[in-house]
Amino acid sequence: MADSEAEKRGVEVRYRSKWPEYARQIDSMAILPAALGQFERMAHYAIANKGRYIEVENASGFPWPAVAVAHKRESDAQDAQGNPLFTSYLGNGQPLNRVTTIEPVGRGPFSSFLEGAIDALRLDKITELSLRGQSRRYCSGKRP
């Protein structure tokens, strides 16, 4: 049964079965010249906050650049100088000091960005084996 057929029937599609398709898509990607500035801003954002994201990587096994991208996607909260605030839940961008009311509902409150990020990544079952292991093999040329 093809993945799209399985999805229509409500059958869970495993990441592992999708990896070859994702690898082909990644191989064919290129940054469009019009989007280069956006990518550069994201890279500067991630590098400027690398220390915070490495804490999450060390605790979860999830690569710090991907944590940065997820954080940027889920929270655009910034101080007056444009620096990101680490006051929102990585899983949905809601405040860390409250129980979440949108998907995933009922998470928190959390005492820190690190605590909430670890919860979100574990809740999604994103682990060294499922994502980082695959991406590292892909990036090193050792595709599954």
For residues 67, 70, 71 and 73, what is the CA-based torsion angle, rounded to 10 degrees?
Answer: 160
Instruction: Write down the pLDDT at residue 52.
Output: 94
Q: Where are the domains of the chain?
A: 1-30, 34-139
**Residue 80 corresponds to which amino acid?**
A
More confident of the two residues 77 and 142: 77
Segment among 7-21, 28-42, 82-96 with least mean pLDDT:
7-21
Q: How far is CA 61 from CA 82, 96, 118, in A?
A: 28, 21, 10
Q: How far is CA 29 from CA 21, 23, 24, 130, 140, in A?
A: 13, 10, 9, 22, 17
Beta-bridged to residue 88, according to DSSP, are 95
Instruction: Write down the pLDDT at residue 80.
Output: 75
Contact in structure between 94 and 109 (CB atoms under 8 Å): no
Tens-digit pLDDT profile for residues 48-78: 999 999 999 999 888 888 888 888 888 866 7
| Distance, CA of 143 to CA of 71 (rounded, Å) | 27
